[in-house]
Amino acid sequence: QKEVEQDPGPLSVPEGAIVSLNCTYSNSAFQYFMWYRQYSRKGPELLMYTYSSGNKEDGRFTAQVDKSSKYISLFIRDSQPSDSATYLCAMSRRSGNTPLVFGKGTRLSVIA
Amino acid sequence: SAVISQKPSRDICQRGTSLTIQCQVDSQVTMMFWYRQQPGQSLTLIATANQGSEATYESGFVIDKFPISRPNLTFSTLTVSNMSPEDSSIYLCSVEGWSSGSSYNEQFFGPGTRLTVL
């Protein structure tokens, strides 16, 4: 079993739809949970991070972490064509001096 | 934040040859990470490079195949040696830094080097 599982998609939605992206993990030591966005031919960029369990909202994006279920989610409201990218979940045990463990990434297309 | 550049951005190489990828950061950093992103696969850590010490390699990756240099706090190179088609991948370097107003030590990524081995 991989440490982090993520459905690679692809996922195609119409503009304005609510998008739900998810990851599951097996290592209970993970404390930091990140979502990265990667546009074609670019490096990943951090979209949001969450420490431990709970919700975090930033504009149209909401990240949720359920440590009891080892399940994290990213919701995108009012999706836009500019949201079309690959979304990677990532996790780590601590903040700083530690590599990240990534999911495979979900390729999202938002159709105008 | 950190701005990272990589050279080359892409290359097509012949089997059995070697390619050295450069990573330049606009600020001094302690640790640099090298990742591989194969098609349909997650980013996989190859090694962690600290300035002034030997790189630390992850399981499945060895120094003879992926030698790394870290001559100073803003620069690193990764060499992919004796390449085979299985080495075709995107190679990314990454550094940590504090984002403005954040309490989280974020990882910043370079744009990647897209390698194709024939």
Q: Do B111 and A41 touch (CB under 8 A)?
A: yes
Report the pLDDT averaged over residues B34-61. Answer: 91
Place of tokens 């984002």: B99
Q: Do B96 and A45 touch (CB under 8 A)?
A: no
Residues of B in contact with A23 (CB under 8 A): none
Condensed to tens digits (0 to 9), the pLDDT of residues A4-27 reads: 999 888 999 999 999 999 999 999
Q: Do B43 and A88 touch (CB under 8 A)?
A: yes
Residues of A in contact with B48 (CB under 8 A): 99
Contact A63, A90 (CB under 8 A): no
Which of A43, A104, A105 comes nearest B92 by C-beta?
Answer: A43
Q: Which residue of A has its CA nearest to B46?
A: A99
Q: Do A43 and B41 touch (CB under 8 A)?
A: no
- The pLDDT, as a whole number, for residue A98 is 78
Contact A25, A45 (CB under 8 A): no
Contacts of B96 (CB under 8 A, 6+ apart): A96, A97, B29, B30, B31, B105, B106, B107, B108
- The pLDDT, as a whole number, for residue A61 is 97
Per cent of chain B over pLDDT 90 is: 77
Which of A46, A51, A104 comes nearest B41 by C-beta?
Answer: A104
Residues of B in contact with A47 (CB under 8 A): none
How far apart are alpha carbons B22 and A105 in whole angstroms?
25
Q: Do B30 and A97 touch (CB under 8 A)?
A: yes
Q: Does A103 touch chain B (CB under 8 A)?
A: yes
Condensed to tens digits (0 to 9), the pLDDT of residues B87-113 reads: 999 999 999 877 666 667 788 999 999
Q: Which residues of chain A have pLDDT under 50?
A: none
- The pLDDT, as a whole number, for residue B21 is 98
